[in-house]
Chain A
Amino acid sequence: MIQTLFGSTQQKPGFLERMKEAVTRTRENLSQRIEEVVAFTKEIDRSTLDDLEATLIGADLGTATTHEVLEKLREKADRKQIRDVDELKRLLKEELLAILEQGNMRPVQKVDGMPEVILVVGVNGTGKTTTIGKLAQVLRSDGKNVLLCAADTFRAAAIEQLEIWGQRTGTEVIKTKAGGDPAAVLFDAIQAATARHTDYVIVDTAGRLHTKTNLMAELDKMRRTAQRIVPGAPHETLLVMDATTGQNGLQQARLFTQSAGVTGIVLTKLDGTAKGGVVVAITRELGVPVRYVGVGEKAGDLLPFNPKEFVDSLLA
């Protein structure tokens, strides 16, 4: 299903089926590979574990995280004399889950009667606007009042794009003209939300590379603006990250956390073949958890992050 300008239409029969198929296929491959190695060596030794390295690095976990995880696995495997493939897989998943569960950062508790402000940040082209559309849908279907704030005044047609999502989800968009001050439109949006007792304000920001210091400073200014009107705002700052991102994702997370106080990650484009394993490295280093995953272009394609399923797919 593809959500288009003119609503949702036809096509792509069995999209989910195909995804499931692909996952099963690769999963089988991996089990097979492990079984082969095991059959060959009769017991799980260092070389078996070395083979898993490729899987983890191939999923973008990065060398440091991969080596840490495998080192722990080695110790356990040595100690427990593990011979069983399923047992080894279970242990590896346990290790990865343990890391993902370290992500214990929580949004700031909001004050009653005030809107909760969600700031959405990220580098260019990760899917911030699309994610906001989907997030509005999630909150709307939960019976909440939502206001969207078009604070990406820089990119061509970013405001129009958010407006279309507003129409699709029945959400009002507060905007200014292209090239306007993002902090000013944020101010307007939060004031409007406060006056109307709206539950949520979701703020779209312009994509920016984390290396552009002045643009990162702009995010800080927006945070301060939000705080002046609503105590504790922004309650949640979501970093939208593309699952195809490699090791640079870690640096993105570091710098966005520094300037914008990231409290959670949305991992987008997980419906492709990329695994998004860099989030394991991010959670390991920064303790920032993944909140949602994006799995398509429809309004309904935003799912709460499920660490178990994610780990399964990493090893698939």
Chain B
Amino acid sequence: MFENLSEKLQRTFKMLRGQAVLNEDNVQDALKQIRLALLEADVNFKVVKQLVDKIQDKALGKDVMTALAPGEQVIKIVRDELVEMLGQDTAKLKFGSQPPTVVLMAGLQGSGKTTTSGKLANWLKNGGHRPLLVSVDVYRPAAREQLRVVAHAIKGNIYEGQVTEANTGTVERLAKEARREAVNTGCDVLIVDTAGRLHMDEQLMEEMQLLKKLLSPQEILFVADAMTGQDAVRSADEFHKKLTLTGVVLTKMDGDARGGAALSIRHVTGQPIKFIGVGEKYDALEPFHPDRIVSRILGMGDILSLIEKAEQQVDKKKAQEIAIKALTGDGFSLEDFRDQVRQVRKMGSLQSLVGMLPRIGPFSGLQAAADKVDDKQISRVEAIINSMTAYERNHHEVINGSRRKRIARGSGTSIQEVNNLLRQYAQMKKMFKQMGKPSFARRMAGMKFPEM
């Protein structure tokens, strides 16, 4: 599914290439694919509609940037829009001026509140805090026992208390006792694990409101499963309306769910996603990075980071000029060759760069080429060309034996290496003449660096 989607997008975007302005016709297909990608990633359909409309507005009439193909530019707009929507918030908790700071955990059944409570306590402990855990889940069998085991595993403090009756009164009493315990034992954060509840369960939601009133928590974290589908908006919305959430923890992110629920939840609550849960161990809690989850939602690997890099560093116009020159009689000079080499170097290590691309479609050739090249060779090639005079770079045929010797000495290479480069260059020049309209990727795929 993942590959299929990327492939589809690649194909769509290939068609967009070479068009000057993004208009309604040429972005339509791209938008359709993006819509499907978002829906398959479980972003709520209403949120998808709004997003796609917004993206269309932003894309239409935009000049095609020199550094990017139009299709890539659409992806960039999508990426920017999604990242902006998710916000740049990092893992920070608000602390009260007077301890204990209270963190109330809320969420549906099975979203991972108890495990997350333990992870959060562990995280706080490592940050030099003294958290106290308490479970007010008097309903689910063995829920309180579970938190006790978790607390023990992280060597954290827990207030256990006594439960004789499973009702709101007991919940209230436990909460009060736990806060007193936190004060008495000098714990600066109180993490309150609550029973999982359905957002439409009025009675249990009232209990949450009561807890909120009683404890005035600095943080009310909504714990949500990354695998949640379309219903995420409804539950998050209800929880937010009744409790005014302050943040979200997205759990089970170590699976292969695309995590579109993150967008839905953020959309309806406007609250930052503070952490993600990435495993069953108690240290498997990470800060949330909007850009990473955006790639995941769109199912495009790190192609987005590549676009970002390319956008900063590769001047498409220059590449185009070189291509035109290479294909017309004038030919492709050693100077142009060096420009190409420099552009590749600017983008960072070739291996890592190519590694970011999907191994499919137009990129597969590039991958194959990159596998054969190492970065050291590229710098030697550049050194050799640097040691030539300007005249030599434009008229390679004048480079005779004594010039070769000089160039080899100047670049710290051998005459054989200079010979190799010149031979490769001559082949490349010939190839360019035969080639039709070369795309950047195709040129790269055919390019061979001298073997040294």
Contact = CB atoms under 8 A, between A and B. Distances in A.
Interface of A: 2, 4-6, 9, 11-12, 18, 22, 54, 57-60, 62-63, 123-127, 129, 133, 154-158, 160-161, 163-165, 178, 209-211, 242-249, 251-252, 269, 271-275, 278, 297
Nearest to A278: B229
Given A57-B45, A210-B255, A211-B254, A244 B235 contact: yes
B230 interface: yes
A155 B118 CA distance: 13
Contact of B166 (A6, A58, A251): A6
B229 A247 contact: yes
A36 to B, nearest CB: 18
Nearest to B37: A63
Contacts of B146: 155-158, 160-161
Interface string B146-174: 11111001000000000101110000000
A11 B138 contact: no
Given A6-B165, A275-B231, A246 B42 contact: yes
B227 A249 contact: yes
Given A6-B165, A248-B255, A59 B230 contact: yes
Given A54-B45, A155-B146, A244-B225, 12 more contacts: A6-B166, A62-B40, A124-B252, A154-B280, A156-B114, A164-B142, A165-B141, A242-B227, A246-B230, A246-B257, A247-B229, A272-B198
B145 A123 contact: no
B269 interface: no
A156 B153 contact: yes
The secondary structure that dominates the A interface is loop
Minimum-distance CB pairs A-B, first 10: A246-B229, A125-B110, A246-B42, A156-B149, A4-B166, A274-B231, A164-B141, A161-B142, A157-B146, A248-B257
B42 A126 contact: no
B261 interface: yes
Contacts, number: 159
Contacts of B109: 125, 127, 269
With most chain B CB atoms within 10 A of its CB, the pick from A2, A5, A248 is A248
A272 B141 contact: no
Contacts of A278: 229
A11 B203 contact: yes
Contacts of A269: 108-110, 198
B27 interface: no
A297 B203 CA distance: 14
Contacts of B229: 60, 244-247, 249, 274, 278
A60, A125, A157, A246 — most chain B CB neighbours (10 Å): A246
Contacts of B230: 57-60, 246, 274-275
Nearest to A54: B45
B36 interface: yes
A249 B252 CA distance: 13
25 contacts: A5-B138, A12-B203, A58-B45, A60-B231, A123-B252, A125-B110, A125-B112, A126-B110, A156-B145, A160-B145, A160-B146, A161-B142, A161-B145, A163-B142, A178-B149, A210-B255, A244-B232, A247-B40, A247-B258, A248-B227, A251-B256, A269-B108, A273-B231, A278-B229, A297-B140
